[in-house]
Amino acid sequence: MNFLSYAGKRLLQVIPALFGISVFVFTLVHLIPGDPADVLLGQTATPARTKLLHHQLGIDRPIIVQYFSFLNHLFHGSLGTSFYDRTSVSGLIAGRLQASSFLLIGGIVLSLLISFPLAVLAASKEGAARDQIVRMVPIIGLGMPQVWIGIELILLLGLKVHLFPVSGFGYTFAEHVRSIFLPSLSIAIGLSPILIRSLRASMLEIWEADFVLTARSKGLSRIRVTVSHVLRNAIIASVTVLGVNIAYLIGSTVIVERVFAIPGTGSLMIDAIGRRDYPIVQGVTIFFALAVVTVNLITDLIHAALDPRVSL
């Protein structure tokens, strides 16, 4: 019951947050100079044709009227219609969600696959050569821009070895998985250093804890102590780090999406900003906000489930 009550309270907190975001985003989008009609009509647009299109798009109305119209649509479950291709924003986001989800999940899975073994290896003997080598990984990983990592991966594994397609998302599930490997790896190389550092530090700290000493004095093997006692407790801190970074990744995979031509929500957002397609920018931002809040909520709940000391 405590758990449900906590989840309910957290969900209620989302409402004012989303309202604040909607006001902020709406205001910000309309403050950006530029005109959607100009993008749609092109160079030959006369002032008369531009004025007519402003009216058709409803952007000649007072800003407050436009905002309440946007809110009205939102309460009715609609994010509006794109100025550019005249289709539903919800539909456009849904269409891009699959690619973004693949990318995000792929990036997280590969990050964990890289981070866990390396962190455990490093923490197994502090100061040893293996620890020193693993500690270099965060420095190198954080120092490489994702664009550069992406292009290098394409050149090596896509163009020279022909193991993976150099870009795109494919049409079938198998093609999606194959297409998403390089961009996911590109994300993982950026994310893993943070996880490695966090997990290694937590493990080293826990190795010094009394309960670990007790477990070792009972004669438990080093592997069992590491897996059952040290790693399990160290994960608690890493879950929070991972959660924060997933929230960050939701809105920041756009560079990877651009380099690998992945049709995800980040690309949708960037294109919409360039075209001054206000409904899409507003819709995607609201969606991102909701996704970030949800990820944070899930992170807190997992944290609580892993650590009984965390009070709900």
Partner 1 sequence: MQLKKKLGSAALVAVTVVGALVAGVLPAAHADNASPKGDLVLVRNQDFATFDPDLAQNDSIFIQEQIFEPLFMITPDGKNVTPWLAKSGTVGKDKLTWTFKLRTDVKFSNGAQMTSADVKFSLDRATKGDGWGFLNTAIESVSAPSADTVVIKTNAPWAPLLSDLASFSNAILPANYGGKSADAFLKSPVGTGPFIFDHWTPGTEVKMVANKNYWQPGKPYLNSVTWKYVVDDNTRDLMLKSGQADINEFPPATSFAAINNTSGIKATAFPAAASEYIAFNHKVPALSDVHIRRAISFALDRAAIIKVVLAGVGTVSNSILAPNVGFYDATTPGIQYDMKAAAAELAKSKYKKNLTLEYLASAGSVQDQAMSSILQASLKTLGITLNIKTQEPKVKRQTQKSMNYQLTSTAWTMDISDPDELMTFALNPVEGGTSSFYTNYVNKSVINAVKRAQTTTDVAVRQKNYSLAQKLVAQDAMMMFVYNAPYIYANRTNITGFYVTPTLQYHMEDVKKA
What residues line the site for partner 1 (CB under 8 A)?
33-35, 38-44, 46-49, 52-53, 84-87, 92, 95-96, 151, 154-155, 158-159, 162, 165-169, 258-261, 263, 267-268, 271, 274, 276
Collect all residues with Cβ–Cβ distance below 8 Å to 42 and sequence separation of at least 6.
Answer: none
Residues 6+ apart with CB under 8 A from 61: 69
CA distance 155 to 151: 6
Report the residue number, 238 or 285, with the smaller CB distance to partner 1.
Answer: 285
Q: Is 170 left (phi over 0), alpha (psi -120 to 50) or beta?
A: left
Q: How far is the CB of 167 from partner 1 (least distance, A)?
A: 5
User: Nearest distance from residue 66's CB to partner 1, in Å?
Assistant: 19
Shorter beta-carbon distance to partner 1: residue 120 or 269: 269
Least Å distance, CB 183 to partner 1, is 11
Nearer to partner 1, 176 or 200 (CB): 176
Cβ-based nearer residue to partner 1, 92 or 230: 92
Given the complex with partner 1, which of 138 and 150 has the nearer CB atom?
Answer: 150
Nearest approach, Cβ of 281 to partner 1 (angstroms)? 13
Mention every residue, 6+ apart, whose C-beta is less than 8 A from residue 290: 14, 18
Q: Smallest distance from the beta carbon of 265 to partner 1, in angstroms?
A: 10
Instruction: Report the candidate in 62, 69, 54 with the shortest Cα–Cα distance to residue 22.
Output: 69
Closest to partner 1 by CB, 95 or 251: 95
Q: Which residue, 151 or 312, is less far from partner 1 as judged by CB?
A: 151
Min dist CB 195 to partner 1, Å, is 28
**Shortest Å distance, C-beta 88 to partner 1:** 11
CB-based contact 249:187 (threshold 8 Å)? yes
Long-range contact pairs involving 150-153 (C-beta distance under 8 Å, separation at least 24): 150/182, 150/183, 150/186, 150/255, 150/256, 150/259, 150/260, 151/259, 153/182, 153/185, 153/186
Pairwise CA distance, residues 174 & 278, whole Å: 35
Q: Do residues 245 and 263 lie in contact, with contact meaning Cβ atoms separated by under 8 Å?
A: no
Residue 35 main-chain phi, psi, to 5 deg: -135, 120
